[in-house]
Amino acid sequence: MNNNGTGRAQTRTSMNIVIVGHVDHGKSTLVGRLFYDTDSLPSGKYDAVARVCEETGKVFEFAFLLDALEEERDQGITIDTAHAQFHTASRDYVLIDAPGHKEFLKNMVTGASSAEAAILLIDAAEGVQEQSRRHGYLLHLLGIRQVAVAINKMDLVGYDRAVYDAVRDEYLAFLREFGVHPAAVIPISAREGHNVVARGAHMPWYDGPTIVAALDGFTARPPVHRQPLRLPVQDVYKFDQRRIVAGRVESGTISAGDEIVFSPSGHRAVVKTLERWSSPRTGPAEAGESIGVTLTEPIFVERGEIVSHPTAPPCIARTVTANLFWLGNRHLASGRTYVLKLTTQEIPCVVESIGAILDTASLISSTSQGEVAKNEVATVALSLKKALAYDPFTDIMETGRFVLVDGFDVAGGGIVLTPVESNYSI
pLDDT digits (tens, 9 = 90+) for 192-224: 999 999 998 899 999 999 999 999 999 887 778
In the chain, the domains with their CATH numbers are 14-217 (3.40.50.300), 224-308 (2.40.30.10), 315-421 (2.40.30.10)
Q: Are strands 14-21 and 117-123 parallel, antiparallel or unpaired?
A: parallel
| pLDDT confidence bin for 73, thresholds 50/70/90 | very low
Residue 75 pLDDT > 60, yes or no?
A: no
Identify the pLDDT of residue 275.
92
Q: How many CB atoms lie within 10 A of CB 313?
A: 21
Distance CA 224, CA 232 (A): 15
Most confident stretch, 127-131, 138-142, 345-349, 369-373: 345-349
Identify the pLDDT of residue 93.
87
Identify the pLDDT of residue 183.
95
Residue 74 pLDDT > 80, yes or no?
A: no
CA separation (Å) from 142 to 108, 226, 401, 411, 417?
A: 11, 22, 10, 17, 10
Residue 403 pLDDT > 80, yes or no?
A: yes
Report whether 403 contacts 415 (CB < 8 A).
no
Distance CA 414, CA 401 (A): 6
Identify the pLDDT of residue 200.
81
Which of 129 and 40 is assigned the larger pLDDT? 129
**Comparing 74-83, 145-154, 226-235, which segment has the lowest mean pLDDT?**
74-83
Which of 281 and 302 is assigned the larger pLDDT? 302
Which of 14 and 44 is assigned the larger pLDDT? 14
Beta strands in 276-328 (DSSP E): 285-286, 290-295, 306-308, 315-326
pLDDT digits (tens, 9 = 90+) for 309-320: 999 999 999 999
Query: How many residues are recorded in the chain?
Result: 426
Burial category of 330 from C-beta neighbours within 10 Å (exposed 0-12, middle 13-18, buried 19 and up): middle
- Please give the angle made by the CA atoms of 345, 351 and 355, to the nearest 5 degrees: 120
Mean pLDDT of 137-144: 76
CA separation (Å) from 405 to 10, 88, 190, 305, 328?
A: 41, 40, 41, 20, 9
Identify the pLDDT of residue 298.
87
| pLDDT confidence bin for 279, thresholds 50/70/90 | confident
240 in the Ramachandran plot: left (φ > 0), alpha (ψ -120 to 50) or beta?
Answer: left
Average pLDDT, rounded, for the chain: 82
| pLDDT confidence bin for 134, thresholds 50/70/90 | confident
Report whether 190 contacts 26 (CB < 8 A).
yes
Residue 121 pLDDT > 50, yes or no?
A: yes
404, β-bridge pairs: 340, 412
Residue 79 pLDDT > 70, yes or no?
A: no
| pLDDT confidence bin for 39, thresholds 50/70/90 | confident
